[in-house]
Every structure is written in C-alpha cells, then in structure tokens.
Chain A
Amino acid sequence: MAPISPRLCVYLSKVHNLQELRRSASLATKVFIQRDYSDGTICQFQTKFPPELDSRIERQLFEETVKTLNGFYAEAEKIGGSSYLEGCLACATAYFIFLCMETHYEKVLKKISRYIQEQNEKIFAPRGLLLTDPVERGMRVVSFWAVLCEGTGLPTSRDPGEAARKQGLHSRFSREPPHSNGP
C-alpha cells in the first residue's frame, strides 16, 4: 500500500464531500478500466486487475467492486417484467409517463452512484483512490483516480494545471437535482 501523505490524511479528515476532494487534489494518476465486450454490448467492465493499482488496492477488493458494478448494470439492463411494464405503460401514455417517472435504468444508475460514493468514502479514499462513475464517460470506462498530494513525485497528468482545474467530477446521480424533472 502506498504511504498516504500526512497532508492527505488531514485533508481526508476534513473533507466530507468527495467532490471537494477531487477538486482539491492537485495531481492524480488515472487508471481506466475498459468495458468487457465478451458478452456483447451489455454493460460490463473488465475484471482484470490493472498493474497500476497493484500497490494501492487489493486485487480481490478491486474485483469485487467491479463485479458488483457489473451486477448492477446487468440488473439495469435486464429484460424482465418491470421493463415490459414500463414499456407498455409508456406506450399507453404516449410516453408522457417519462415526464413523471424515472426509468428503471435510471433508478439503478442512482443506486450505482450511491454505491460508488459509498465505496469511495469507505474504501478507496483511505487508500488514496477515487472511483469515478462510468456514466460520466458514457459507460465506456471506469476510472480510478489515484489522488495524491503535490510533491509525491508520482507520474501525473501532462498538464500541471490540471489538478487545479479539476472540477466537480461528480456523479450525476449522487446529488439531489437542483432542478426537478419536468417542466
């Protein structure tokens, strides 16, 4: 496990909001976990352990996280009774139901983002990592940000000002929407 700098510890103790952590993180390496297309276009991420995280997180923990995410997405995309009903209801109401109702997928996405936030708070932030919500990137990748304080000397992004400009990489589904759905 990489040593967590004292600054980070202090910072973590002060930061309750993970977004603030992201925003304030000066430098970060990012590890991207790509989609696993072996079963078609269903949303699945590769459970192959990236070597960059070798020193930061246990393999099993990583796999468990990714598998949980995969499970969530499988649940979201499941064609079953609820999706039938949703489709029929939408059809019957000329799709006006979408104004009032959240789709099944969106519900699961909210669940996922809560899960990710929870994981970040409990597991990854203490290890100096941040897990991003794949929906922000079109569900193409899951990324782990290795959040570091300045001066650690670890490889960072090309742009030294990037960390300073890191802004709200927050999950869409993790906050109360300022605007309610609907007109």
Chain B
Amino acid sequence: MPGGSRREGSLERGLRPQTPPKPPARFRGPGPGGPDLHRGAHWPAGPQRCPWLTRAVSPAVPVYNGVIFLFVLANFSMATFMDPGVFPRADEDEDKEDDFRAPLYKNVDVRGIQVRMKWCATCHFYRPPRCSHCSVCDNCVEDFDHHCPWVNNCIGRRNYRYFFLFLLSLSAHMVGVVAFGLVYVLNHAEGLGAAHTAITMAVMCVAGLFFIPVIGLTGFHVVLVTRGRTTNEQVTGKFRGGVNPFTRGCCGNVEHVLCSPLAPRYVVEPPRLPLASKGSLDRPDEKPLDLGPPLPPEIEAGTFSSGLQTSRPGSAESALSVQRTSPPTPAMYKFRPAFPTGPKAPFCGPGEQVPGPDSLTLGDDSIRSLDFVSEPSLDLPDYGPGGLHSTYPPSPPLSASDAFSGALRSLSLKASSRRGGDHVALQPLRSEGGPPTPHRSIFAPHALPNRNGSLSYDSLLNPGSPSGHACPAHPTVGVAAYHSPYLHPGATGDPPRPLPRSFSPVLGPRPREPSPVRYDNLSRTIMASIQERKDREERERLLRSQADSLFGDSGVYDAPSSYSLQQASVLSEGPRGPVLRYGSRDDLVAGPGFGGARNPALQTSLSSLSSSVSRAPRTSSSSLQADQASSNAPGPRPSSGSHRSPARQGLPSPPGTPHSPSYAGPKAVAFIHTDLPEPPPSLAMQRAHPQLKTPPSKLNGQSPGLARLGPATGPPGPSASPTRHTLVKKVSGVGGTTYEISV
C-alpha cells in the first residue's frame, strides 16, 4: 500500500506475515518498497532484524546498537590492554634500608584508621594501601580490584573505569539485543520457523544466557563503586563491619571512578622487537622453552647471551620488560643470589650473571634509546608490528604467548566453568606444536582451576564450582623465562637493541616456574646459610620418609622452602578467613581438593610462611642471636618441640654461617600457627606437590621433624600451639613505625 501509512499501520501490517510492513511515512527513506524489505529479510539475524526494526520502530535502533556495540568494544579493549597500574619492582637500593629487623607489615594511618602494608617479597617494597600482588600477572597492582580472566588482565587503578563501563555497556547492549529481538520475534510470531526468526531467537537465547551473570556482575560493581571498595576488599572482607578509610562518600566515589584523571603508567615498556613479537606469534611452541621448569637458569644464560632477538619468546622478554621498572639503575644489575632463584625472582640468577659495567653501558644506551617518555595511556606507542593486534591499533602488541596463554587460561577457565566448546576448541589451535611442557597443562581444559576464576567472576557467580579445579602444572608453570627484570639483554654484551616488547604490561609475565627461594638481594653468606638450611630440610625429609610419618608425604619440607616461598611471591592477601583468592598462583597449585575456605587458610599459612621466611633473613638475626644465647634443648624434641629446635639443629651445622634461614623455618612455623584459623586435615594435592597437602599440619609436624636428627620419633603430633613461642617485641622505629621483632 502506498504511503500515508502511519506508524501503527505499519506495525499492524508487520503482524501479517504475508504483507511486508510498509515503512511509516516519515521513515520513508532511500530504501522504500518491497524489494528492499525482501532483501533485508534474507539477511542474518541482526542485519535482517535491523531493517525491519528500522522501519517498524525507529531508525535510531541500528544507530543505538552500533554506538553501544562500539562502546562495549572500546571499553573492553581498554580494560584488556591497559596497564592496570603495575608497580615496578623496587630497586635493591630501596630496600637496603630495611635491614634484618624489618617487619613483614608496616602500619600506616589512613584518615585515622590503621591500615597494614605488607611487604611484597616479589616486588620488594611495602605494598601501598589498596595495592595487591596479582599472582597471575606477578605484579603489584595499584588499587588492585581483581584479575579478570575474561579480559585476561588485572583490573586496577588505571583501567577500573573502563572495566566498569564495559560492564555497564555490555549490560545495556544485551538488554538491547534481547529487547529488540523480542520485538522482532513477537512481530513475526506466526513464522517462528522462518530462518531469520529462528536465528533471532537463538541470538536471544545466547544473550539471555549471559544476561544473568553479566547483570549480576554489573550490579556487584555498581555496589562496589558506590561504596568505594575494590573487589579485593569486598571479598576479603577488609571493611566488614568496619569503616572504609578510602571512601569519599557515594557521590565522591562515583565521581572518582568515572571522572578522575587517567593515572600514568609506572612500568615503561621498551620497544618490542618485531622478530620476537612475530616469533611469539608464529612460534607458540617456543613458549614452552621458557616456561619449562628447568628453564630459568638456561634462559638467563642463554637468552641473554645470544640470539635473544630470535629465540626469546614473549615470556622471557615480557618477563624482562615487565620487570623493567625504570631506567636501569645500578641496583638493577646488582649481585644476584648464588643459587638459582628461578625465573620467578625479579632479580637475575646467580651473581656471576650480573653483567659488567661495559655491558651495562650498552644496555643503558639501548635503554636510553628507548622511549621512556610518557606514552598515551593506551600503551600504544612503541609497540612494534604486533601482528596479532594489528586490528586494534592502540593495543600493545601482546606477545602471542602472553596473549594466547592468557587467553587460553581464560578460555580454559571458561571451558571449565561452563563456556561453550568453541573456547575449548581454541586451545588446540593455540597450543599446536607446543610440546607438552608443564606450563602447557595450564591450557588444558580444567587444568587451570578457577582459583584464577575465584578471583574472577566465575567463582563469584558460581561459588561452588570454581575451586574444585586444580592446576597440576601450576607450580611449574610459567616461571619459565623469567629472568631478572633488571638484566638487560644488552648486558651480556650484545649490541644495544630495543628490547622486544612481547610482554604486555597488562597481561603480565608468562607463567613461570616457582622460584625456590626469593632471596634475591641477600648477601652470599645468607644465601649460603639458606642453602645449608635447605640441605638440612632435605635430610629431614629423608628421615621423615623413613619414619613413615603420619603425614605420609615426605616432600613436606620441600615445599616450604620452595613452594611456600613461591607463595610469598604470589600471595597478595594477608591472613583472612575464607577469602576468595584472586587468580593467585598458589591457588592454582592448590589442587582440586582445596575448598575455598581451605585455600585461603592455606594461602594464608603459606604466605605467612613464605613471607616470614622471605623476610626472615631480615628479621631473624637479632632473634637468632637471642635464641642462640639461650640454652640448647637436648636432643630431639617431641612434637611440641618449639621453634627453637631448628635453631638448635642449626648450631651443629657449619659454624660461622648465620642461622637465620634455619631460624626462619621455625619462626615461619610459628607464624603459620598463629595465622591459621585451623589447619585443614587433608588437602588433596596434585602432581608433585605433596608438600602442599597439609602444610599447616606439616608445619606442625615440621617442628618435631626439624627437631629430629636421628630416626623419627614417631608420628609428630600436632603441636598444641607452637605458635607464639616466638615472642614478638615491638620496637618503635624512625618515624613512628612499629617494628615487630621476633625474640
């Protein structure tokens, strides 16, 4: 029928399938008439709906949808690729002032409320308030919110706004899709079997499926924004029942989130080496080289000595580049501990690998040639032709390894949670050609527990499901090519060249082998004593295995020195009750048997252990001397044997070496016991981490185990309260800081 049709008329006509709706008079535009409509009817869901909707409802419909979609995409990209506010690793010179008596925690007064700053063993500074260490990215992130596996990035100060807007816009987009689809379907109800209607319904179903979690997440974050809390704080219950010192009032909080200026990047990425970037894209199988367990020393030696450009995969470079905090200072190239710290250590490996001054000069020249100037917040500038991201210009060229591994992780998470098989199908694509290194197992479906997801919203939305997954390979994962952040590639004498920027600051380093120890900046004597303690622990372990201890696993003491110390680097939370871990690596290692409540305790204990241990060299000397001054306990002690027994044991060991490491163990035990709410009776472990099985109880048992020099004295009973054998003396330091010294 000719024009003059009213809008209602067209709608009515639309309800009669045999008569295509005439465009309302005022919408008669360039494409009137039947043929166009018929043509449009054969388009797939969106495009075919749009013409109808344009004519039937409003021409603003496609415009609105387009704008919303663009908005979603832009915010998603910003949330994904933007540096969340990563803190660079502290130079060694900075924590030199923290001597052996430096405490694990420092209190600061924030608007009248005491806030505790924890020492980050990975980054070597006291974490600012609201800062947290993301174990997935292995960085301390400012105003850490969570690590989102959906965007495979930490959400922190710089990109929280974009993440929040992404959620809002995605929710609006989904609402729009469902609503318009509904309008279309209702108006074509007679022909539900028609192709376009069916497709529309399918689209609506998919959108509706994701509708609930996305809306839920959006609502959650709206609440967080109005309250001025981060996800981290909310989930860990930091301000439960208390006052949030960081809130600015509801309006102030919203304003702060939406309107505050974009914070600068702290970590400057050196320009990416095109070859490396391409290599990382084209040769994903190279990644395992870096990520395999034996790799770190080799990486450090090999990558820096030769052919870095070609062979260094994204993780190595990324590890390096992400660790490159500031222009190389002397501290960056300082002595590294004598024994391999593993790639996880932010500092390089053995001291002999420290480059000489000339190579440093070279390195520095190359670094100075790098662009350390401010970059647009899109982190775009110096990125080489990252083919992977050529479609999105502003995005930094993520190394394929990083991008894909992260994507795979997230995808595997999704697969494990409930996502479609298309995600799982992606994995073979990405990991093709990759040797089955331990880190690859990360990408296996369900390999990555939703510990990562526990921080993500998978767990928040499905609290029961995520924690069951274990990542057997996690402990070995991703340490890979984590050489010292401070070792410049030019340091080995290579001609100065821009560092491959295959590492994206937003993605973080590749998964790495857990570093056995993180005594990066300790002196050789301490290293030696630590080594001695490790030897002793090995002996204990052997003895325990002979003794057929209650706990069964003889590798108990392996972990504390290695795994728990790894925990130190990955753990970001203080001791809390049931907390959801945010993608912490220890969660991944924790294994399937770990419940959500256990893991926090475990993490807490391990973190305490590791933190205690890692800070032990700093704290133990005075207490050690006090300890040594007291009388020795004769022989091995029963289970309630105190923390002192290891120290006693340490005494007969090679004299002259400071026993701080040995002391650290029991002290760590003491810390563990104080911190743990209740040691989980049994924790299923995966793979080769039996030591994680019952760390608390093992720590319990470690006391007697430590005390045992000879044959085991039988099943070590859980020490009643080995806890506070360590007396803590509070000493006021400079500036009113209170130091807790273990006496």
Nearest residue in A to B86 (C-beta to C-beta)? A138
Task: Say whether A32 contacts B376, CB under 8 Å.
Answer: no
Given A158-B96, A168-B364, are A79 and B261 neighbors across the interface (CB < 8 Å)? yes
Q: Does B533 make an interface contact (CB < 8 A)? A: no
Q: Does A126 make an interface contact (CB < 8 A)? A: no
Nearest residue in B to A93 (C-beta to C-beta)? B74
Binds A, one of B320-328, B703-711, B718-726: B320-328
Nearest residue in A to B326 (C-beta to C-beta)? A136
A100 to B393, CA, bound (A): 12
Q: Does B422 make an interface contact (CB < 8 A)? A: no
A157 to B96, CA, bound (A): 8
The one of B263, B331, B394, B523 in contact with A99, judged by C-beta atoms closer than 8 angstroms, is B394
Residues in A neighbouring B110, C-beta threshold 8 A: 37-40
Nearest residue in B to A25 (C-beta to C-beta)? B330
Nearest residue in A to B266 (C-beta to C-beta)? A138
**24 pairs across A/B with beta carbons < 8 Å?**
A32-B97, A35-B128, A40-B129, A40-B246, A41-B130, A77-B261, A78-B261, A103-B264, A138-B87, A159-B92, A159-B330, A161-B330, A165-B357, A166-B330, A167-B328, A168-B327, A168-B364, A168-B368, A172-B327, A175-B372, A178-B370, A179-B371, A181-B376, A183-B393
Task: Say whether B90 contacts A137, CB under 8 Å.
Answer: yes
Q: Does B164 make an interface contact (CB < 8 A)? A: no
Task: Say whether A79 contacts B255, CB under 8 Å.
Answer: yes
- Tell me the chain A residues, 120-159 only, with Cβ under 8 Å from chain B: 135-141, 143, 157-159
Task: Say whether A141 contacts B94, CB under 8 Å.
Answer: yes
Q: Does A83 make an interface contact (CB < 8 A)? A: yes
Residues in B neighbouring A105, C-beta threshold 8 A: 261-264
Residues in B neighbouring A143, C-beta threshold 8 A: 94
Binds A, one of B307-315, B377-385, B535-543: B377-385
Task: Say whether B334 contacts A162, CB under 8 Å.
Answer: yes
Report the minimal beta-carbon distance from A165 to chain B, rounded to whole angstroms: 4
Q: Does B329 make an interface contact (CB < 8 A)? A: yes
* Total chain A interface residues with beta-carbon distance under 8 A: 68
For the complex of A and B, list the 5 residue pairs with the smallest distance between their C-beta atoms, beginning with the closest: A177-B373, A167-B364, A136-B326, A162-B330, A94-B74
Q: Does A6 make an interface contact (CB < 8 A)? A: no
Task: Say whether A179 contacts B271, CB under 8 Å.
Answer: yes
A164 to B369, CA, bound (A): 20
The one of A46, A95, A164, A180 in contact with B357, judged by C-beta atoms closer than 8 angstroms, is A164
Q: Does B402 make an interface contact (CB < 8 A)? A: no
A104 to B301, CA, bound (A): 42
The chain A residues found within 8 Å of chain B, CB to CB, are 30, 32, 35, 37-41, 46, 48, 51, 76-79, 82-84, 86-87, 90-91, 94-96, 98-106, 109-110, 135-141, 143, 157-159, 161-170, 172-173, 175-183
- B676-714 vs A, Cβ < 8 Å mask (1 yes, 0 no): 000000000000000000000000000000000000000
A178 to B128, CA, bound (A): 32
Task: Say whether B329 contacts A167, CB under 8 Å.
Answer: yes
Residues in A neighbouring B376, C-beta threshold 8 A: 98-103, 181-182
The one of A137, A161, A178 in contact with B91, judged by C-beta atoms closer than 8 angstroms, is A137
The chain B residues found within 8 Å of chain A, CB to CB, are 70-71, 73-74, 77-78, 87-88, 90-94, 96-97, 108-111, 115, 125, 128-130, 142-143, 161-162, 165, 245-246, 248, 255-256, 258-264, 266-268, 271, 325-331, 333-335, 357, 360-361, 363-364, 367-378, 380-382, 393-394, 523, 734-735
Nearest residue in B to A103 (C-beta to C-beta)? B262
Nearest residue in A to B498 (C-beta to C-beta)? A179
Residues in B neighbouring A84, C-beta threshold 8 A: 259
Nearest residue in B to A96 (C-beta to C-beta)? B394
Q: Assuming A30-B94, A82-B261, what are 20 further A-B pairs, CB within 8 angstroms? A: A32-B97, A35-B128, A40-B246, A83-B261, A90-B262, A94-B73, A98-B262, A99-B380, A135-B266, A157-B96, A162-B331, A166-B330, A167-B367, A167-B368, A168-B327, A168-B328, A168-B364, A169-B329, A179-B371, A181-B375
A27 to B369, CA, bound (A): 25
Residues in A neighbouring B328, C-beta threshold 8 A: 167-168
Given A98-B376, A105-B264, are A41 and B246 neighbors across the interface (CB < 8 Å)? yes
Nearest residue in A to B491 (C-beta to C-beta)? A165
A100 to B381, CA, bound (A): 10
A30 to B370, CA, bound (A): 26
Task: Say whether A95 contacts B258, CB under 8 Å.
Answer: no
Nearest residue in B to A46 (C-beta to C-beta)? B735
Task: Say whether A94 contacts B70, CB under 8 Å.
Answer: yes
The one of B78, B115, B363, B372 in contact with A170, judged by C-beta atoms closer than 8 angstroms, is B372
Given A41-B130, A83-B259, A94-B74, are A167 and B374 neighbors across the interface (CB < 8 Å)? no
User: Of residues A51, A82, A94, A141, which shows the largest number of chain B Cβ atoms within 10 Å of its Cβ?
Assistant: A94
Given A32-B97, A87-B258, A165-B357, are A135 and B264 neighbors across the interface (CB < 8 Å)? yes
Residues in A neighbouring B73, C-beta threshold 8 A: 94
Nearest residue in B to A169 (C-beta to C-beta)? B329
Task: Say whether A169 contacts B327, CB under 8 Å.
Answer: yes
A5 to B170, CA, bound (A): 65
Interface class of chain B by DSSP: loop
Report the minimal beta-carbon distance from B174 to chain A, rounded to whole angstroms: 19
User: Of residues A41, A51, A170, A178, which shows the largest number of chain B Cβ atoms within 10 Å of its Cβ?
Assistant: A41
Task: Say whether B93 contacts A41, CB under 8 Å.
Answer: no
Task: Say whether A178 contacts B374, CB under 8 Å.
Answer: no
User: Of residues A78, A84, A86, A168, which shows the largest number of chain B Cβ atoms within 10 Å of its Cβ?
Assistant: A168
Task: Say whether B361 contacts A167, CB under 8 Å.
Answer: yes
Task: Say whether B381 contacts A179, CB under 8 Å.
Answer: yes
User: Of residues A157, A164, A179, which shows the largest number of chain B Cβ atoms within 10 Å of its Cβ?
Assistant: A179
Residues in B neighbouring A83, C-beta threshold 8 A: 259-261
Residues in A neighbouring B262, C-beta threshold 8 A: 86, 90, 98, 103-105
Nearest residue in B to A38 (C-beta to C-beta)? B109
Task: Say whether B378 contacts A167, CB under 8 Å.
Answer: no
Nearest residue in A to B329 (C-beta to C-beta)? A169
Given A32-B94, A173-B373, A182-B380, are A77 and B330 neighbors across the interface (CB < 8 Å)? no
Residues in A neighbouring B266, C-beta threshold 8 A: 135, 137-139
Report the minimal beta-carbon distance from A84 to chain B, rounded to whole angstroms: 5
Residues in B neighbouring A40, C-beta threshold 8 A: 110-111, 129, 245-246, 248
A138 to B263, CA, bound (A): 11
Report the minimal beta-carbon distance from A119 to chain B, rounded to whole angstroms: 19
User: Of residues B92, B326, B357, B375, which shows the largest number of chain A Cβ atoms within 10 Å of its Cβ?
Assistant: B326
Nearest residue in B to A173 (C-beta to C-beta)? B374
A87 to B258, CA, bound (A): 8
Task: Say whether A95 contacts B329, CB under 8 Å.
Answer: no
Residues in A neighbouring B70, C-beta threshold 8 A: 94
Given A41-B143, A98-B394, are A170 and B327 neighbors across the interface (CB < 8 Å)? yes
Residues in A neighbouring B368, C-beta threshold 8 A: 167-168, 170
Report the minimal beta-carbon distance from B2 to chain A, rounded to whole angstroms: 41
A37 to B130, CA, bound (A): 11
Residues in B neighbouring A158, C-beta threshold 8 A: 96, 334, 523
Residues in B neighbouring A176, C-beta threshold 8 A: 373
Task: Say whether A99 contacts B93, CB under 8 Å.
Answer: no
A48 to B256, CA, bound (A): 28
Residues in A neighbouring B143, C-beta threshold 8 A: 41
Task: Say whether A165 contacts B380, CB under 8 Å.
Answer: no
Task: Say whether B71 contacts A94, CB under 8 Å.
Answer: yes
Residues in B neighbouring A140, C-beta threshold 8 A: 87, 90, 125, 128
Residues in B neighbouring A77, C-beta threshold 8 A: 260-261, 263
A153 to B59, CA, bound (A): 80
Residues in A neighbouring B326, C-beta threshold 8 A: 136-137, 169
Task: Say whether A166 contacts B329, CB under 8 Å.
Answer: yes
The one of A46, A106, A168 in contact with B264, judged by C-beta atoms closer than 8 angstroms, is A106
Task: Say whether B381 contacts A182, CB under 8 Å.
Answer: yes
